[in-house]
């Protein structure tokens, strides 16, 4: 198919049609026609005016008011400012004011800064590979000035005069003398005044304010030594004094994060990876509380998000997200920051090394966290059990709870009631027959005390020196089973048990064909197979810890998991692959003590003691807490003894 450009559209001609025309006929019918485009006299390509070019650049750099705030604050930080004040009016659409005490500019530099690609950060192409500043392209100021009424007042440090630069909608730059000042003040008025289509795509003021707050938080986190102030419509939203990194992190993420996080720093293949990492049971509904900084630059990178989730994989539920602040210091030559118009993304020379470093840092932190449960778990329990007044008559006469071999069943509570059952109150405060746990209990770091009762064949109530603990028996045993399987797999010594009678296994054609070629990949998991046909196999052995499960289902799930995830290790020091979390996590769940199973006092005791020696026992494989601790102060507040 050949295309001929004519006025009003394209004329499509097949090659066979062209053969029917002589050269003169073709010229007469096409190029001599009145509606044809002259191919020789008119130029279709032309150079855009600087104003239009700047507005196009603004469309990439300044997506919304928060983008302008980010670019301008980064300029202040590059100017070595020790204090930055941001004032926002009308969600940034009406006015954005940035003041800093940085090095400032001379009148000549101030005028030149409004030209495209005018920058003080780089000079040669080699500098692009060693970028250590926030900005470097020289596009932000002219782009912002092209879509707003732009005002800048600045002066060099120690100068006796200053300068004011004015630009309205990308028009001619106007310079005026101004009083000397320390640093620079930039005012952006009526953003997108000459691009009304962009204003139509703006969200509500509340949404735009939220975006500005998120940008400001990230920049404040990355620069704790700089005093930073944010005002929204005259109200002071943040006011940070210069402080150390931990203090800034806690000031931004709150006291709950301070109580439920630890610091960790490692060196991995020449890079420094550090972080403030939340406990697995301290999680969030989305990824907005996962913050990343690379060489001081705040970024949003899908690979790093995936790496953090991989590090928390076997201690957090799949639809929850960790709360973490990750800082990576790496050779600037090993990271390309010039891959996104707004510099929100970077490209690493060795992304697998960075991923491995982040995962190693997180897993080292999880080991350090040990058996701690988030304090918010206790807070949730307190809210769920708050005192609601006298029990209603429908709850019965409140007879003594029934104990049978450690089993306790409290009378049913009516729907909607929030009062704590009186039977539970007697359990918690009755001193008769209850001995305080001695030094022999909790020989490890965790002390779960002595079991008092099993509640509804699901929870174990224990008493410690400082209060009481409720244990989810299924969640706890699930984690213990899982950790044993992990240890065995890491040591390549998964205990295997032969079956007295081999169990047949039938698989579909595609899966069976794969298993014919990869049956040896099941051996590290304690599974032995014998091929008995094209689509049939005999299971000879299974992991000893899971011998009570249906062997066919067990092996079929393992095969599917290896096919989907692969059995290669993920690069951590324990040599565990992603297959571990997927298959062994599910298997541990199915092979654990079930809710509804009656436990004797001795079994309850054994469960608590084993929990104290199990790593990561604070949460099950799906991220649910395994126990809740209530101190005596919590109990006093619960019953109104203390405020």
The answer to whether 206 and 147 have CB atoms below 8 angstroms apart is no
Q: Over pLDDT 70: what percentage of the chain?
A: 70
Please say if the pLDDT value at position 477 is more than 60. Answer: yes
First to last CA, the chain: 84
Range 48-55 average pLDDT: 66
The answer to whether 465 and 436 have CB atoms below 8 angstroms apart is yes
The answer to whether 119 and 136 have CB atoms below 8 angstroms apart is yes
**Among 464, 449, 453, 457, CA closest to 423:** 453
Please give the distance of CA 575 from its chain centroid, rounded to a whole number: 24
The answer for residues whose C-beta is within 8 angstroms of residue 584's C-beta and 6 or more apart is 482, 485, 486, 489
The CA distance from 329 to 368, in Å, is 22
The CA distance from 456 to 28, in Å, is 96
pLDDT of residue 61: 66
The SS3 assignment for 494 reads: coil
Q: pLDDT (tens digit, 9 = 90+) per residue, 421-432?
A: 454 444 444 443
The CA distance from 216 to 213, in Å, is 5
Under the banding of pLDDT at 50, 70 and 90, the label for residue 475 is confident
Under the banding of pLDDT at 50, 70 and 90, the label for residue 560 is confident
Tokens encoding 16: 């066979």
Please say if the pLDDT value at position 541 is more than 80. Answer: yes
pLDDT of residue 470: 92
Specify the DSSP class assigned to residue 338: T
Please say if the pLDDT value at position 377 is more than 50. Answer: yes
Q: Residue 41: in which H helix or E strand, if any?
A: none
Under the banding of pLDDT at 50, 70 and 90, the label for residue 213 is very high
The answer for residues whose C-beta is within 8 angstroms of residue 339's C-beta and 6 or more apart is 345, 346, 347
**Among 171, 167, 165, 169, CA closest to 184:** 165
Q: Which residue has the higher pLDDT, 577 or 477?
A: 477
Please say if the pLDDT value at position 285 is more than 80. Answer: yes
Range 233-244 average pLDDT: 96
The Cα-based distances of 51 to 44, 114, 117, 361 in angstroms read 20, 12, 14, 48
- pTM for the whole thing? 0.67
pLDDT of residue 199: 81
Q: pLDDT (tens digit, 9 = 90+) per residue, 102-122?
A: 999 999 989 988 887 766 655
The CA distance from 121 to 458, in Å, is 64
The CA distance from 558 to 579, in Å, is 9
Please say if the pLDDT value at position 491 is more than 90. Answer: no
Given CA atoms 534, 538, 544, 550 in this order, what sign does their dihedral have? Answer: positive
pLDDT of residue 575: 35
Q: Which residue has the higher pLDDT, 107 or 40?
A: 107
Please say if the pLDDT value at position 207 is more than 90. Answer: yes
The CA distance from 532 to 521, in Å, is 18
pLDDT of residue 573: 34
- Domains belonging to the chain, first-starting first, are 1-44 (no CATH), 51-240 (3.30.565.10), 260-369 (3.30.230.10), 477-590 (3.30.1370.100)
Under the banding of pLDDT at 50, 70 and 90, the label for residue 290 is very high
pLDDT of residue 76: 93
The CA distance from 89 to 574, in Å, is 53
Range 45-56 average pLDDT: 69
**Among 176, 175, 173, 178, CA closest to 159:** 178
Q: Which residue has the higher pLDDT, 144 or 118?
A: 144
Q: Compute how many other C-beta atoms are within 10 angstroms of the C-beta atom of residue 354.
A: 25
**Beta-strand pair 95-100/149-155:** unpaired
**Among 420, 414, 417, 415, CA closest to 455:** 420
Please say if the pLDDT value at position 272 is more than 50. Answer: yes
Under the banding of pLDDT at 50, 70 and 90, the label for residue 176 is very high
The Cα-based distances of 7 to 1, 27, 29, 36 in angstroms read 19, 16, 14, 6
Q: Which residue has the higher pLDDT, 552 or 387?
A: 552
Among the residue ranges 20-34, 99-113, 281-295, 485-499, the one predicted with the least confidence is: 20-34
The SS3 assignment for 255 reads: helix
Range 491-517 average pLDDT: 87
The Cα-based distances of 60 to 55, 67, 121, 322 in angstroms read 9, 10, 20, 31
Tokens encoding 319: 């639809």
**Among 102, 101, 117, CA closest to 61:** 117
The Cα-based distances of 580 to 42, 315, 573, 588 in angstroms read 67, 12, 14, 11
Tokens encoding 449: 């005390």
pLDDT of residue 581: 59
Half-sphere exposure of residue 525: CA atoms within 13 angstroms, side-chain side: 29
pLDDT of residue 283: 85
Q: What is the mean pLDDT of the chain?
A: 78
Please say if the pLDDT value at position 308 is more than 90. Answer: yes
Q: Compute how many other C-beta atoms are within 10 angstroms of the C-beta atom of residue 420.
A: 19
The Cα-based distances of 5 to 103, 233, 609, 639 in angstroms read 57, 55, 84, 86
Please give the distance of CA 70 from its chain centroid, rounded to a whole number: 21
The answer to whether 85 and 134 have CB atoms below 8 angstroms apart is no
**Among 610, 322, 570, CA closest to 482:** 610
DSSP count for the chain of H helices, then E strands? 21, 28
β-bridge partners, 531: 537
**Among 216, 162, 191, 231, CA closest to 92:** 191
Range 604-624 average pLDDT: 87
Q: pLDDT (tens digit, 9 = 90+) per residue, 321-361?
A: 999 999 999 998 898 877 666 667 888 989 999 999 999 99
Under the banding of pLDDT at 50, 70 and 90, the label for residue 54 is low
Q: Over pLDDT 90: what percentage of the chain?
A: 37
The listed range with the strongest mean pLDDT (426-430, 528-532, 544-548) is: 528-532
The SS3 assignment for 346 reads: coil
Under the banding of pLDDT at 50, 70 and 90, the label for residue 585 is low
- For 478-492, the three-class secondary structure string (H helix, E strand, C coil) is HHHHHHHHHHHHHCC
pLDDT of residue 277: 95
Given CA atoms 440, 446, 448, 449 in this order, what sign does their dihedral have? Answer: positive
The CA distance from 321 to 311, in Å, is 11
- Vertex 9 angle, CA 4 and 14, to 5°: 35
The answer to whether 631 and 466 have CB atoms below 8 angstroms apart is yes
Rounded (to 5) percent helix, strand, coil in the chain: 35, 25, 40
The CA distance from 387 to 181, in Å, is 61
Q: Which residue has the higher pLDDT, 236 or 9?
A: 236
Q: Residue 70: in which H helix or E strand, if any?
A: helix 65-78
């Amino acid at each position: 198919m050949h295309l001929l450009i004519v006025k009003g559209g394209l004329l499509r001609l097949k090659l066979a049609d062209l053969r029917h025309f002589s050269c003169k006929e073709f010229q007469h019918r096409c190029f001599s026609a009145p509606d044809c485009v002259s191919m020789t006299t008119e130029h279709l390509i032309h150079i855009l005016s600087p104003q239009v070019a700047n507005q196009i650049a603004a469309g990439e750099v300044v997506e919304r008011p928060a983008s302008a705030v980010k670019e301008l604050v980064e300029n202040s930080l590059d100017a070595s400012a020790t204090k930055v004040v941001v004032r926002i009016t009308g969600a940034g659409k009406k006015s954005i004011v940035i003041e800093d005490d940085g090095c400032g500019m001379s009148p000549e530099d101030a005028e030149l800064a409004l030209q495209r690609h005018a920058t003080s950060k780089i000079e040669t192409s080699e500098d692009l590979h060693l970028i250590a500043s926030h900005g470097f392209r020289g596009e932000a100021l002219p782009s912002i000035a092209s879509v707003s009424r732009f005002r800048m007042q600045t002066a060099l440090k120690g100068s006796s005069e200053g300068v004011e630069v004015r630009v309205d909608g990308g028009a001619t730059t106007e310079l005026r003398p101004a009083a000397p000042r320390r640093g620079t003040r930039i005012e952006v008025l009526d953003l997108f005044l000459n691009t009304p289509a962009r204003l139509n795509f703006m969200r509500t003021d509340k949404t735009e304010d939220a975006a500005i707050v998120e940008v400001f938080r990230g920049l404040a986190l990355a620069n704790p030594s700089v005093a930073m102030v944010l005002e929204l419509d005259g109200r002071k939203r943040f006011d940070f004094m210069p402080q150390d990194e931990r203090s800034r992190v806690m000031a931004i993420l709150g006291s709950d994060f301070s109580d439920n996080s630890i610091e960790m720093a490692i060196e991995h293949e020449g890079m420094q990876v550090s972080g403030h990492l939340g406990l697995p049971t301290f999680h969030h509904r989305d990824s907005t509380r996962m913050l990343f900084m690379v060489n001081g630059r705040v970024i949003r990178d899908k690979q790093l998000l995936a790496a953090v989730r991989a590090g928390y994989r076997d201690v957090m539920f799949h639809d929850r997200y960790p709360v973490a602040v990750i800082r990576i210091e790496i050779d600037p030559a090993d990271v390309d920051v010039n891959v996104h118009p707004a510099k929100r993304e970077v490209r690493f020379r060795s992304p697998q090394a960075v991923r491995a470093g982040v995962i190693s840092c997180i897993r080292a932190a999880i080991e350090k966290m040990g058996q701690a449960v988030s304090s918010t778990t206790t807070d949730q329990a307190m809210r769920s059990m708050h005192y609601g007044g006298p029990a209603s008559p429908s709850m019965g006469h409140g007879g003594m709870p029934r104990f049978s071999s450690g089993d306790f069943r409290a009378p049913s509570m009516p729907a909607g009631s929030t009062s704590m059952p009186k039977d539970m109150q007697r359990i918690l405060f009755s001193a008769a027959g209850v001995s305080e746990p001695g030094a022999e209990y909790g020989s490890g770091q965790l002390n779960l005390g002595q079991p008092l009762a099993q509640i509804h064949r699901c929870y174990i109530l224990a008493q410690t020196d400082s209060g009481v603990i409720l244990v989810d028996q299924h969640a706890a045993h699930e984690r213990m089973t899982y950790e044993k399987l992990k240890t065995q797999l890491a040591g390549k010594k998964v205990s295997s048990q032969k079956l007295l009678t081999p169990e047949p296994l039938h698989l579909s054609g595609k899966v069976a064909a794969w298993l014919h070629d990869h049956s040896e990949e099941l051996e590290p998991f304690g599974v032995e197979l014998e091929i008995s046909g094209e689509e049939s196999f005999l299971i000879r052995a299974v992991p000893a810890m899971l011998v009570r499960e249906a062997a066919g289902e067990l092996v079929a799930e393992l095969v599917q998991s290896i096919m989907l995830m692969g059995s290669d290790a993920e690069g951590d020091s324990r040599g565990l692959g992603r297959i571990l979390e997927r298959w062994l996590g599910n298997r541990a769940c199915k092979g654990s003590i079930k809710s509804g199973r009656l436990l004797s006092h001795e079994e309850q005791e054994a469960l608590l003691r084993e929990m104290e020696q199990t790593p990561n026992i604070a949460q099950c494989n799906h991220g649910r807490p395994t126990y809740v601790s209530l101190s005596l102060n919590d109990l006093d507040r619960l019953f109104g003894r203390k405020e």
